Chains A and B, each alone.
Chain A
Amino acid sequence: MDFALIAKVWTFFAAAAWVTLQISALAICLGLCLGFAAALASISRNVLLRFPARVYVSIFRGTPALIQLFLLYYGGPQIGLQLGPFEAGVIGLGINIGAYMTESIRGAILAVEKGQMEAARCLGLGHVQSMRNVILPQALRLMVRPLGVNAVALIKGSAIVSTISVVELTYTAHRYISSTYKPFEMFILASLFYLVIVSVVSFAVNRIDERVALES
């Protein structure tokens, strides 16, 4: 272990971890928006909403995130979409994780007992009112954990934006591995940051889940 080297470069890794954190947070927000919209669309009675939502999920879960990112970043300019690496990273990751989040959210909504909707409708509430006041508040509690899993996967998956030269953790690790030939040290250093971020997020998700969980 070359501790002197680690001591010398760790601040670069810290700066890179901040970029990883930013890009992940933004992508998760985008993914949540897309996920909610697509999940609601996918359970709609209207086929014009349902069908596009299903297609979105199927395509983005059915192909590699890396290819989606390349298509957006390198192929985008061909269709008039010129994005910087950071923006492309956020959008590419966000659209990808959104497809997985759609499934988590949809699953949570469908997991709310059928009797809940019936009880709400029996009181004279409309479909939208019942969704908003009865189904979604319960579904939200059920989706915390699966969405947390998606978020953690996204944080680790965000490493792929290093391939379009966003200077984040994995990019930095790769660069120092190439220049110092110390793959092990650089791996451990980058891992520390990833592990801290992932652990904090997992802990927060668990706490939120405990806080909002309904007793049964």
Chain B
Amino acid sequence: MGLDFSILAGYEGVLVQGAIWTVGLTVASIVLSLVIGTLMAVFRLSGMRIVRWPVSFVIWLFMGTPLLLQLYLIYFGLVQIGLDLNAFTAGVIALSLHFAVYDADIIRAGIVAVDKGQYEAARSLGLSHAQAMRKSIVPQALYNVAPALGNMMIALLKESSLVSVIGVMELTLSAQRAISDTFRPFEFYLAAAVIYYVLNLVLEQAVKAVERRSAKYR
């Protein structure tokens, strides 16, 4: 059985649709992972053991285990506790949690790295706590963490392909559907790979652009 890429014709719609879902899934998960990651970082830095310890435990647990395993836990676990979410929502939650754990680590390190003196200097200039955080600490922490968070986002796009296993109709599963029609795995997986590659390039460029902008706050 040779290769015949003309088979792709007629399935452009399916693949494009899948790619759009992949983008949506990625963007939603990036945003949510940043929110959860920031919260986790704050909890982890907090003085209250009652929040710090459980959060630290979850971070440790999730950092040592595969995304795929976490995906199964969340997808089947949610059903078990009576939350019958659709696959897309479960996928976003799993991806967000998985990456939030890494984001939290990065953000925490970024905040710790900003000199305490900076904060005091800002306060002594007459800025309020909120102003000092907004004008001095947060921008600098952002600058510190931008490259590492950028790498996480780039990784997230590629890892999003895993949610195909719980039935999210994104790019990988779309390719699989086309394959079960045509029995042409090579052509369709290669096509999917090309699309992922292009999406990855675009995301890399976007991340670089943001890094350059955040460098401005140095």
Contacts and interface: CB of A to CB of B under 8 A. Distances in A.
A adjacent to B, CB under 8 Å? yes
Nearest to B73: A187
B58 to A, nearest CB: 11
Interface in A33-76: 59, 62-68, 70-71, 74-76
B157 to A, nearest CB: 8
A63 B197 contact: yes
B161 interface: yes
A104 interface: no
A78 B4 CA distance: 10
A184 B72 CA distance: 10
A141 interface: no
Given A63-B197, A67-B192, A156 B65 contact: yes
Given A159-B66, A187-B69, A65 B185 contact: no
Contacts of B158: 63-65
Interface residues of A, number: 39
Interface stretch (A83-91, A121-129, A191-199, A204-212): A191-199
Contacts of B175: 67
Interface string B1-36: 111000000000000000000000000000000000
A160 to B, nearest CB: 6
**Range for the number of chain B residues in contact with chain A:** 35 or more
Contacts of B193: 63-64, 67-68, 71
A163 B71 CA distance: 13
A164 to B, nearest CB: 11
A137 interface: no
B176 to A, nearest CB: 8
A155 to B, nearest CB: 8
A79 to B, nearest CB: 7
A203 B187 CA distance: 43
17 contacts: A59-B197, A63-B200, A67-B192, A67-B193, A70-B172, A71-B193, A78-B2, A78-B3, A78-B186, A156-B64, A156-B66, A160-B162, A170-B68, A170-B72, A181-B76, A183-B77, A190-B69
Given A64-B160, A67-B196, A169-B69, 18 more contacts: A62-B196, A64-B193, A66-B162, A67-B161, A67-B192, A68-B193, A71-B193, A75-B189, A77-B1, A78-B2, A160-B162, A170-B69, A181-B76, A183-B76, A183-B80, A187-B69, A187-B73, A194-B64
Interface of A: 59, 62-68, 70-71, 74-79, 156-160, 162-163, 169-170, 173-174, 177-178, 181, 183-184, 187, 190-191, 194-195, 198-199
